[in-house]
Amino acid sequence: MAEEGQMRPIWSGTLAFGLVTIPVKLYSAVESGSDVSFRLLDSTTLSPIKEIRVNPATREEVPWDRIVRGVEHAKGKYVALSGEELKALPLPTAHTVELLGFVEAEEIDSLYYDKAYYLGPGKGGEKAYELLRRTLEEQNKVGIGKVAIRTREHLAAVRPADGALVMQTLYYADEVRSAELIPDLPRNVRVLPAERRMAEQLVSSMVTSFNPGEYKSEYRQALRKLVKAKLAGRPLAEPAAAPRKVIDLQEALKQSLARLRPAEKPAPRRRAAASV
């Protein structure tokens, strides 16, 4: 988990449910800037390439003062919207987390979760904030509501975590695609009893507790080593191993189970009985 000093709020507002309003501050819960970022460079001078906005019809560069936002209303047809028109749209959840109800935590499918934020108490809201947090924790409930972030209104869930309130934006139902749209999903596949038993044994033997700190991005670490090696003029690392070969399902299960089982020690030999 990233530890980078004190957080700075994205915005200050209120969390509201019923007639209760709690001053809150919104903080980013995830630090994504720790990744090594790529830039597009000119290979001859290693200078960063500048993006140019070009009109595909005229091939001319379009300056920022001629660029407006627009919405496609028909195939290839757009309507332009000014900043003033967008600001005039009703947005009642601007700087407000409006909770509309409370649900069981298990009811929300993980497919619906999007970005995570922390909600911290604002000035004078400490007691109400803690009261809501404890109530949600004791009742195993999650608040469901709406919030506007950067001119877009999101569905959101507010839940207790580690002594704080976490707000996660959710996808709307029409944004989540059905699994039925996946082509060639297996139907009526015959699974042998022996295959099922081995799969159950393999899963049971690999059961563990989730500790996020145990998992590191091997790609990120290898990329950083590669950058350091190139800067120092050292030889580059060996290429990664070839991908695993697909083998027979039963054989793969057997070999996986064999790897996890501790090697059996041979039984000690019995001494031959002494002759009388």
Taking the alpha carbons of 134, 137, 140, 141 in that order, is the dihedral positive or negative?
A: positive
What is the chain's mean pLDDT, rounded? Answer: 83
* 99 touches 158 (CB < 8 A): yes
- 188: alpha, beta or left, given left = phi > 0 and alpha = psi -120 to 50? left
Q: What pLDDT, on a 0 to 100 scale, did the predictor assign at position 6?
A: 80
pLDDT for 260 beyond 80: no
Least confident window among 9-23, 169-183, 208-222, 234-248: 234-248
Q: For residues 20, 131, 1 and 148, what is the CA-based torsion angle, rounded to 10 degrees?
A: -10
* 100 touches 15 (CB < 8 A): no
Taking the alpha carbons of 257, 258, 261, 264 in that order, is the dihedral positive or negative?
A: positive
pLDDT band at 275 (very low <50, low <70, confident <90, very high): very low
SS3 126: helix
**Average pLDDT over every residue of 210-218:** 77
pLDDT for 244 beyond 70: no
Q: Specify the DSSP class assigned to residue 41.
A: B
Q: What pLDDT, on a 0 to 100 scale, did the predictor assign at position 168?
A: 95
Contacts of 117 (CB under 8 A, 6+ apart): 10, 26, 27, 28, 29, 166, 167, 168, 169
Least confident window among 105-114, 164-173, 249-258: 249-258
Closest-CA residue to 116 (of 24, 29, 1, 6): 29
CA distance 48 to 85: 36
Q: Which domains does the chain have, with CATH numbers?
A: 11-30+89-174 (2.40.290.10)
**Average pLDDT over every residue of 87-112:** 85
Q: Specify the DSSP class assigned to residue 212.
A: G
CA distance 94 to 150: 9
pLDDT for 276 beyond 50: no
Cα 222 off chain centre by? 22
Contacts of 156 (CB under 8 A, 6+ apart): 97, 144, 145, 146, 147, 167, 168, 169, 170
- Between residues 244 and 154, the one the model is more confident about: 154
Length of the chain: 276
| CA distances, 142 to each of 99, 100, 114, 116, 239 (Å) | 10, 11, 15, 14, 47
pLDDT band at 206 (very low <50, low <70, confident <90, very high): confident
3-state helix, strand, coil split of the chain in percent (to 5) is 30, 30, 45
Each residue of 133-143: pLDDT tens digit? 999 999 999 99
Q: Specify the DSSP class assigned to residue 150.
A: T
CA distance 259 to 261: 6
Please give the structure tokens belonging to residue 213: 């700190």
* 21 touches 15 (CB < 8 A): yes
SS3 155: strand
